[in-house]
Chains A and B, each alone.
Chain A
Amino acid sequence: MRFQDAAPDARAVVYAGIQADPLVAHVASLLAEGMAAERWLARAVMNGERTDPEPWRRIFPLLFGPAADPALRDHAARVLDASLGVASRGDAARSQYRGAIVEELAARLLAGRATAVRRERRVLFDGVRAEIHPYDVTVESGDKPEVYDCKWGARGINADVLNQLDDARRHAADEDVELAVAIVVFDARVSCELRLARSTAEHGGTWLVALEGLDTLAEKRA
């Protein structure tokens, strides 16, 4: 088993431009250091219709109310401002930005405990046709590699994604490699579990990381 850069197609070239937009890194950086309530704020705003910050400040009194800690309020204001920057890009662009942000966020959290964090990589196995789609994020340690697919919402969980992850896990096992496979979803855990419960694709060996548990990505592995 080995990792390989994905051959860039036209879609990937366009998407790479979005991934490289400083706004993506800025939002991901704020969310990586933010608390769960700020991540819900970001999800709401980047899903939202209104681009005026005041209604959002009123919707989240925990972050912006008079009782909120000033440091938290200041950080949440930066999350709000950055999220509105994404929301104001329009419906077509924002969906691509949101996906890129989840990928960057996952990579940044993983970088808290791993050095070999890579993006847009394929995994090749002996005697197995290579998958077309690269993995969003990989941790390419020699003994305990990991691959991640990242989604903005639970609606993105589908059989193709689950099958590719599970196939990779099984092919690695055939080569006596313990490949950890996971799906990172910037959505509520319950919504992801409901989605998985209806799926007939094998996913018992796939780790689910939902919005509430994103910080587990940064936890040290044994």
Chain B
Amino acid sequence: MSSQSEPTSPQPPDVIERAAAAYRALADLAETIEDEWQYVTDLVDAYLPGIRMLAGRDAELELEVVVAVDEAIAEIASITDPHKAIDWLSTFPHVVALAVGGDVDRPSEVAPPDDAAPPEPEPDEDSPFRILLGGDR
């Protein structure tokens, strides 16, 4: 009789968890720039949960999507320059989200850091451009 069939591709949590682990490793490299430690921490706090949430999707990922995410992981794993690592901390989550068809960019859920500068209006909210454009965008 037939044996239990093997999956044709890894399940979403596997590849997304690999992406999250790679992102964490990228942040470890970026954190070596002492002046940017806070920014790196803020980026990780904002994006790492979003990457992990991509694993919560019900649909099984196509093989090409798994390959895409693994290729993106390979790209950031090849980085040795911490400055480049910082640039990728904001890029990698969006690249993975595009491949998966999800979203890691939920501005409404990005709360200001607890010890951030005193609250100021959102850049767009009081923008003279918003007023000049005459409406919400």
Contacts and interface: CB of A to CB of B under 8 A. Distances in A.
Interface of A: 37, 40, 43-44, 47-50, 55, 58-62, 65-66, 91, 144, 146, 153-155, 169, 178-182, 187-191, 193-200, 202-208, 212-213, 216, 219, 221-222
Given A188-B91, A190-B90, A190-B107, A198 B68 contact: no
Nearest to A40: B94
Contact of A219 (B36, B68, B88, B133): B133
A10 B39 CA distance: 33
Interface of B: 36, 38-39, 42-43, 46-47, 62, 64-65, 67-68, 71-72, 74-75, 78-79, 81, 84, 86-91, 93-95, 98-99, 101, 105, 107, 110, 112-113, 116-117, 120-121, 123-124, 126-130, 132-134, 137
A128 B75 CA distance: 49
Contacts of B90: 153-154, 187-188, 190-191
Interface centre among A191, A205, A216 (most CB of B within 10 A): A191
A34 to B, nearest CB: 14
A65 B87 contact: no
A198 B79 contact: no
B132 to A, nearest CB: 5
A109 to B, nearest CB: 13
Nearest to A222: B134
A54 B49 CA distance: 30
Nearest to B95: A44
A196 B46 CA distance: 14
Q: At the interface, is chain B mostly helix, strand, loop or mixed? A: helix
Contacts of B127: 180, 182, 205-207
B99 A180 contact: no
Contact of A198 (B75, B101, B116): B116
B128 A59 contact: no
A178 B128 CA distance: 8
Given A62-B101, A190-B110, A193-B107, 5 more contacts: A50-B78, A190-B107, A191-B89, A205-B128, A221-B133
Contacts of A155: 36, 39, 86-87
A60 B71 CA distance: 10
A194 B46 contact: yes
Contact of A40 (B71, B87, B95): B95
A145 to B, nearest CB: 11
B75 A49 contact: yes
29 contacts: A48-B75, A49-B75, A49-B79, A55-B75, A58-B64, A58-B68, A59-B72, A59-B95, A60-B68, A180-B128, A180-B129, A180-B132, A182-B127, A188-B93, A190-B46, A190-B90, A191-B43, A197-B116, A198-B113, A198-B117, A204-B121, A204-B123, A204-B126, A206-B127, A207-B128, A213-B137, A216-B137, A219-B137, A221-B133
